[in-house]
């Protein structure tokens, strides 16, 4: 081997170099290959406005692990990447950028504004992709897509027209989420619910014709009462049976509204009477439909009160609230105000409180497609990992509403609906406006100004990225995909929409498995957010410790569907692990340089230690492969970590050192062959998790091979099932552990050697120790190892340790200089006496007990207990030595 590893592991020096090598060699690129079985993952497209955060880092690390694993298994693996146009997020950023330049979006118009959007995308759109590359993501960047590229846009238009012609897409007035600042409808995914301090205002609604009698309602939004069209009570509520069907005078208006009965009302909550505002509350909207109630919208798009609000018209919604409360007080209709904390929906971009409003929008009917999505799970075509998300998925589909897909934005896929300028005829079609109106012959059409919800295009992602609606070779070969990996926080908004869209458009479920992961929280368990200022930049971690250490930190201990906490200390631990792997590999390579290594080793040339480690890595291969197939990524990596650190580095390498250092040991070649063989397999098993360091070591160790990425995943070998040798070495390891414990308890320095006696009546056990004597020299500090059937001739003062079917003895006099040890223990005894007296004094002092914090007093009690235990141990040792 001419190439050598650097003396110290420096990820900064090698990660960028190795990633560029992989890119140049085209290792990430997948091709249609009839000779290989395909495996496909689609990357959840990050927003083109995005910047890498810990959620992205976790999500993409998990995808990369599976992709690298499957490539090494021999699959033609496509990890399909791309970015999302992020309609609202991008529009907000570009609008703010223009505002800073003194440019008004409305003044320059739609076309000019879109030019700025595309310029912004070209300038900043690749930022997150470059950041994902720093993480080591092995996505097929040659196939990178964008939700508004020509192919994806074609797919969006195709789906819209198909669903419209099938009667699944319609335009109508329904309750939607409305942002008064951005002035657009929002999806549920863009609404964050946060607890806010508010009030319950209790208001009297007079009963018409019954002077002095009222119905008491409680509301958190008194301004919406101007849109009330009924008050509802539960049909079984005996308190209000006589009111059902009567009319109420709506305060602050000249309108009368009925009392209706509806099971929606909870008798136990509040007063049992609920104001119904169909145009401004989703539950009230449904009640209104059941009772044919009028829908009265009382808000303008900017959140001010509209012309239907009388004296309050033109006021901001919160300004109107204050004025109405004052007027209710004056009329004697405000019963009381109660402080109340409640969840309020806010826009995740501008953090404005969202208003539910009835507005004309484009919707997708969900009944039939939701049924198909449920059937996919129930018949086993779709599988969630972990399975508990089945219930979440089905519950959301059971309660699904028609999907509002139109947005009042300019950046996005424009709705392919055209209105005849003369007769208003609506025409939905692909490839632009019709030449003439079939109804009146007019040749002038105006396209609907709205764009589509971002989720409409990303719902098509698994097949639109492969060329659909065209029957491309990629679509035929790579679709349906195999697994989707995503956070549980967007299961409703994206996963479900991909499922029903895939089934509806292709007749196939878009992926077999959905692997759900949790959130990355800070060390205190809090969600990372800008407001808390507790976010951690993955690029900062990579710059300090390397991508491999970050990846290991995100996956170690990670269980599907569960949140995890980020600790800097864990990153340091994983960086130390990388150093351990690096240094162990350098040691092996240095020894390989000094000897001729045969291509193969005969079984008879292997020692028990060699067979033990081969058997261990063989079992590890089987278990890790099984764990990865089940998406148990955290379980698998812990096994690899433990094997490399403990079994391979701390035990096997130490076991073989005497053989490597001996010029006369005939088993040196077997030791070197085993070291290299096991290291190669261990590196392969570690590669999906730590791709950079494994690549550098593997290619240095095997100069004839291009990359660990193109090597084969290890397979379980029946011929490496050395059960007897494994049991023998485990017995020796236990004996070494016991010897180390005895030496540690006696404070014996490592340089001090002593005889070790092994006594066993079991001949097989004695043979194990006879064959394993060499291990005790380096591992157990033994000057010699004597194996006996009984303890005849062993000094009575010898220290002992018991292991299964044997006892280990070490002559006391060989371990300890008795006079020096007695002198040391006498000094320790005097020190402990002083500490115990001091502690007793403090705990007997009333002033200390009364004035010191309880924690300080308890700390002193703990110290005293510790000193007493130490004194007992010292006295026991002195008694032994005497």
The binding site consists of 530
Integer CA distances (angstroms), 414 to 169, 192, 428, 452, 498, in order = 15, 26, 12, 6, 20
* Residue 413: exposure state from Cβ atoms within 10 A (0-12, 13-18, ≥19): buried
C-alpha angle 497/500/505, rounded to 5°? 115
Element (H, E) at 356: strand 355-364
- Percent helix, strand, coil in the chain (nearest 5)? 50, 20, 35
State the Cα–Cα distance between residues 614 and 608, nearest whole angstrom.
10
CA 438 to chain CA mean position, Å: 53
Helix axes 854-881, 818-843, angle to 10 degrees: 150
Number of Cβ atoms within 10 Å of the Cβ of 280: 25
Question: Tokens 């990369």, residue?
Answer: 64
Integer CA distances (angstroms), 22 to 17, 297, 414, 695, in order = 9, 59, 39, 10
Residue 420 pairs in a beta bridge with: 445
Residues 6+ apart with CB under 8 A from 818: 881
State the Cα–Cα distance between residues 244 and 266, nearest whole angstrom.
16
Element (H, E) at 397: helix 389-398
CA 375 to chain CA mean position, Å: 27
Element (H, E) at 78: strand 76-80
CB of 98 closer than 8 Å to CB of 61? no
Return the closest-CA partner of residue 66 out of 41, 44, 45: 41
Residues 6+ apart with CB under 8 A from 199: 220, 337, 338, 339, 340
Number of Cβ atoms within 10 Å of the Cβ of 74: 12
CB of 317 closer than 8 Å to CB of 305? yes
Which string of DSSP letters, residue by residue, matches 617-684? HHHHHHHHHHHHHTT-HHHHHHHHHHIIIIIIIIIIIHHHHHHHH-SS-TTHHHHHHHHHHHHHHHHH
State the Cα–Cα distance between residues 475 and 276, nearest whole angstrom.
50
CA 269 to chain CA mean position, Å: 38
| DSSP β-ladder status, 520-521 and 564-565 | parallel
State the Cα–Cα distance between residues 302 and 87, nearest whole angstrom.
20
CA 107 to chain CA mean position, Å: 43
CB of 810 closer than 8 Å to CB of 757? yes
Tokens, residue 314: 């033109």
State the Cα–Cα distance between residues 860 and 839, nearest whole angstrom.
7
Residues 6+ apart with CB under 8 A from 751: none
State the Cα–Cα distance between residues 431 and 434, nearest whole angstrom.
9
Residue list, annotated binding site for ATP: 530
State the Cα–Cα distance between residues 88 and 93, nearest whole angstrom.
9
Element (H, E) at 34: none
Tokens, residue 45: 């497209």
Element (H, E) at 334: strand 334-347
Asked if residue 257 has a cis previous peptide bond (ω within 30° of 0), the answer is no
């Amino acid at each position: 081997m001419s190439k050598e590893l650097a003396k110290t592991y420096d990820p900064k020096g090698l990660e960028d170099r190795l990633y560029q090598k992989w890119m140049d060699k085209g290792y990430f690129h997948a091709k249609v290959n009839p000779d290989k079985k395909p495996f496909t993952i689609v990357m959840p497209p990050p927003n083109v406005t995005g910047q890498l955060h810990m959620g992205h880092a976790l999500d993409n690390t998990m995808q990369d692990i599976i992709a690298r694993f499957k490539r090494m298994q021999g699959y033609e693996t496509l990890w399909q990447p791309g970015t999302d146009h992020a309609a609202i997020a991008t529009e907000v950023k570009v609008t703010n950028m223009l505002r800073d330049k003194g440019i008004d979006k409305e003044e320059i118009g739609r076309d000019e504004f879109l030019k700025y959007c595309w310029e912004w995308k070209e300038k900043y759109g690749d930022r997150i992709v470059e950041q994902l590359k720093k993480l080591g993501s092995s996505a097929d960047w040659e196939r990178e897509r964008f939700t508004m590229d020509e192919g994806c846009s074609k797919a969006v238009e195709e789906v819209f027209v198909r669903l419209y012609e099938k009667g699944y897409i319609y335009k109508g007035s329904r309750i939607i989420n409305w942002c008064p600042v951005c002035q657009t409808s929002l999806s549920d995914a863009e609404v964050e619910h946060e607890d806010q301090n508010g009030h319950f205002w209790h208001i009297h609604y007079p009963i018409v014709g019954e002077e002095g009698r009222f119905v008491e309602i409680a509301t958190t939004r008194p301004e919406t009462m101007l849109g009330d069209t009924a008050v509802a009570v539960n049909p079984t509520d005996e308190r209000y049976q006589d009111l059902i069907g009567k009319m109420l005078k709506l305060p602050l208006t000249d309108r009368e509204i009925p009392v209706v009965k509806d099971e929606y009302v909870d008798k136990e909550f509040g007063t049992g009477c609920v104001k119904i505002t169909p145009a401004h509350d989703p539950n009230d909207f449904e009640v209104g439909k059941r009772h044919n109630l009028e829908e009265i919208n009382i808000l303008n798009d900017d959140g001010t009160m509209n012309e239907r609000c009388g004296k309050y018209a033109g006021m901001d919604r919160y300004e109107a609230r204050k004025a109405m409360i004052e007027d209710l007080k004056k009329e004697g209709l405000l019963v009381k105000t109660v402080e109340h904390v409640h969840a309020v929906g806010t826009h995740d971009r501008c953090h404005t409180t969202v208003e539910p409003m009835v507005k004309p929008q484009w919707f997708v009917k969900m009944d039939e497609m939701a049924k198909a999505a449920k059937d996919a799970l129930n018949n086993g075509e779709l599988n969630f990992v972990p399975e508990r998300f089945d219930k979440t998925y089905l519950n959301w589909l059971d309660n699904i509403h028609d999907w509002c897909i139109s947005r009042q934005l300019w950046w996005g896929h424009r709705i392919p609906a055209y209105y005849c300028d003369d007769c208003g005829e609506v025409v939905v079609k692909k490839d632009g406006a019709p030449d003439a109106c079939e109804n009146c012959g007019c040749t002038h059409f105006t396209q609907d100004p709205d764009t589509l919800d971002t989720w409409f295009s990303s719902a098509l992602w698994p097949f639109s990225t492969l060329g659909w609606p065209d029957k491309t070779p990629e679509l035929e070969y790579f679709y349906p995909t195999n697994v989707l990996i995503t956070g549980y926080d967007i299961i409703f908004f994206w996963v479900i929409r991909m499922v029903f869209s895939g089934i509806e458009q292709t007749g196939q479920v878009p992926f077999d498995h959905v692997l759900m992961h949790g959130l990355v929280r800070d060390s205190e368990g809090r969600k990372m957010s800008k407001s808390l200022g507790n976010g951690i930049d993955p690029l900062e971690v990579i710059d300090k410790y390397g991508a491999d250490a970050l990846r290991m930190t995100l996956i170690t201990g990670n269980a599907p569907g569960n949140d995890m906490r980020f600790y800097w200390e864990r990153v340091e631990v994983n960086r130390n692990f990388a150093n351990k792997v690096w240094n162990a590999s350098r040691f092996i390579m240095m020894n390989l340089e000094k000897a001729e290594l045969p291509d193969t080793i005969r079984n008879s040339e292997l020692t028990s230690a060699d067979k033990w480690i081969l058997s261990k890595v063989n079992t590890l291969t089987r278990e890790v492969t099984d764990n990865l197939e089940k998406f148990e990524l955290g379980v698998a990596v812990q096994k690899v970590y433990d094997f490399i650190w403990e079994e391979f580095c701390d035990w096997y390498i130490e076991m073989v050192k005497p053989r490597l250092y001996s010029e006369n040991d005939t088993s040196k070649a077997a030791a070197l062959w085993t070291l290299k063989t096991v290291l190669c397999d261990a590196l392969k098993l570690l590669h999906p998790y730590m791709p950079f360091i494994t690549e550098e070591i593997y290619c240095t160790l095997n100069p004839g091979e291009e990359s660990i990425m193109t090597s084969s995943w290890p397979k379980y070998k029946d011929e490496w099932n050395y059960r007897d040798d494994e049991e023998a070495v485990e017995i020796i390891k236990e004996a070494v552990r016991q010897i180390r414990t005895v030496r540690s308890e006696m404070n014996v320095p490592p340089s001090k050697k002593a005889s070790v006696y092994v006594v066993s009546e079991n001949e097989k056990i004695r043979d194990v120790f006879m064959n394993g004597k060499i291990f005790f020299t380096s591992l157990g500090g033994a000057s010699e190892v004597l194996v006996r059937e009984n303890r005849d001739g062993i000094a009575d003062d010898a220290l002992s340790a018991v292991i299964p079917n044997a006892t280990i003895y070490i002559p006391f006099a060989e371990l300890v200089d008795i006079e020096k040890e007695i002198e040391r223990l006498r000094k320790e005894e005097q020190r402990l006496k002083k500490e115990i007296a001091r502690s007793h004094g403090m705990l007997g002092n009333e002033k200390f007990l009364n004035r010191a914090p309880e924690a300080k007093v308890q700390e002193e009690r703990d110290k005293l207990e510790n000193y007493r235990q130490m004194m007992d141990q010292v006295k026991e040792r002195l008694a032994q030595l005497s």
